């Protein structure tokens, strides 16, 4: 089977601090060939970059500020995010977006931080790793406004409605699907929707340590998700699409490599720059 790409894993989360090497080794052993480590603040993005450099050609990272931390975004933060985009292991701007579910940062700060990060992606021609929760209308309006100017964007951990999905696809967005689809209470609607996503727009992710698939048996005692469980997500998405896991592995990996532009980035690529 084609090695999988986990497009979103929060490997710098402190829940991995004690056994990160084992977690990464398990992922590779399970058939995950590439992991994109999610950056959620400047320090987390710097840590993600450092981690990516320990596994050249296998780990990559994003650099951005999650909407929960939007209140911290100032000129200095934006300058650091912009500088990080020059690093070969950094493959996208994000995670950025809007999250009005808990409003850890005030909505006005979230809109500003999101617009500023979209502007970086537009200026530098970078792909964007996007987070939206309970904010579809505002989020979509901002995406549409900037859409002509950034090359590619993935709505990560999509859990929305059919109308929301159609709207994103009409904007030529990519869609990231997590183990949410394995949830018999909240994820059933996704099983009908994933068949609408063209293969060249569909990617898969664990969002580890969050979103442990609810149908996984036995459930690990610590309830922690990890990238080695991506094949479980793959099988659920493949079943919902009426495809074989092998077919979906090949298409999602190809789509992810093109999206993040990761084929040319190796240790050699680093020294060339």
| Cα–Cα dist 21/184, whole Å | 32
Q: Residue number with the shortest CB distance to Zn ion?
A: 131
Segment contacting Zn ion by CB under 5 A, of 103-111, 126-134, 208-216, 222-230? 126-134
Closer CB to Zn ion, 85 or 206, in the complex? 206
For residue 273, what are the contacts with CB-CB under 8 A and spacing of at least 6?
Answer: 88
Residue 76, judged by CB atoms within 10 A of its CB (0-12, 13-18, 19+), counts as exposed
Does an H or E element contain 243, and which?
A: none
**Position among 131, 136, 152, 232 found at the interface with Zn ion (CB under 5 A):** 131
| Cα–Cα dist 149/172, whole Å | 13
- Is residue 69 involved in binding Zn ion (CB under 5 A)? no
| Cα–Cα dist 176/256, whole Å | 10
Segment contacting Zn ion by CB under 5 A, of 125-133, 143-151, 178-186, 216-224? 125-133
Place of tokens 């500003």: 112
Closer CB to Zn ion, 168 or 265, in the complex? 168
**Least gap, CB of 242 to Zn ion (angstroms):** 28
Number of residues lying near Zn ion (CB under 5 A): 1
- Is residue 68 involved in binding Zn ion (CB under 5 A)? no
Closer CB to Zn ion, 69 or 131, in the complex? 131
**Least gap, CB of 63 to Zn ion (angstroms):** 15
Residue 210 CB neighbour total at 10 angstroms: 18
Site mask for Zn ion (CB under 5 A), range 154-193, x = bound: ----------------------------------------
Closer CB to Zn ion, 161 or 244, in the complex? 161
107-124 and 75-84 helices, crossing angle to 10°: 40
Is residue 230 within 8 A of residue 33, CB to CB? The reply is no
**Least gap, CB of 133 to Zn ion (angstroms):** 7
Residue 19 CB neighbour total at 10 angstroms: 13
Binding site for Zn ion (CB under 5 A): 131
């Amino acid at each position: 089977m084609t090695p999988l790409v986990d497009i979103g894993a929060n490997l710098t989360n402190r829940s991995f601090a004690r056994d990160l090497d084992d977690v990464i080794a398990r992922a590779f052993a399970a058939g995950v060939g590439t992991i994109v480590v999610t950056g959620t603040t400047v320090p987390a993005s710097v840590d993600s970059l450092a981690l990516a450099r320990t596994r050249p050609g296998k780990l990559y990272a994003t650099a951005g500020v999650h909407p929960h931390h939007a209140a911290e975004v100032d000129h200095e933060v934006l300058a650091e995010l912009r500088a990080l985009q020059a690093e070969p292991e950094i493959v996208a701007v994000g995670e950025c977006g809007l999250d009005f579910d808990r409003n850890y940062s005030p909505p006005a700060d979230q809109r500003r931080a999101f617009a500023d990060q979209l502007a970086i992606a537009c200026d530098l021609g970078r792909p964007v790793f996007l987070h939206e929760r309970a904010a579809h209308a505002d989020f979509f309006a901002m995406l549409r406004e900037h859409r002509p100017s950034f090359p590619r964007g993935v709505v990560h951990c999509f859990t929305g409605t059919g109308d929301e999905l159609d709207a994103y696809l009409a904007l030529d967005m990519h869609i990231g699907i997590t183990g949410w689809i394995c949830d018999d209470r909240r994820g059933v609607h996704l099983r009908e929707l994933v068949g609408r996503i063209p293969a060249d727009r569909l990617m898969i992710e664990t969002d580890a340590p969050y979103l442990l698939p609810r149908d996984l048996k036995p459930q690990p005692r610590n309830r922690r998700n990890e990238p080695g469980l991506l094949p479980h997500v793959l099988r659920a998405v493949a079943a919902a699409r009426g495809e074989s896991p092998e077919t979906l592995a090949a298409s999602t990996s190809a789509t992810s490599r093109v999206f993040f532009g990761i084929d040319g980035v190796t240790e050699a690529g680093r020294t060339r720059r």
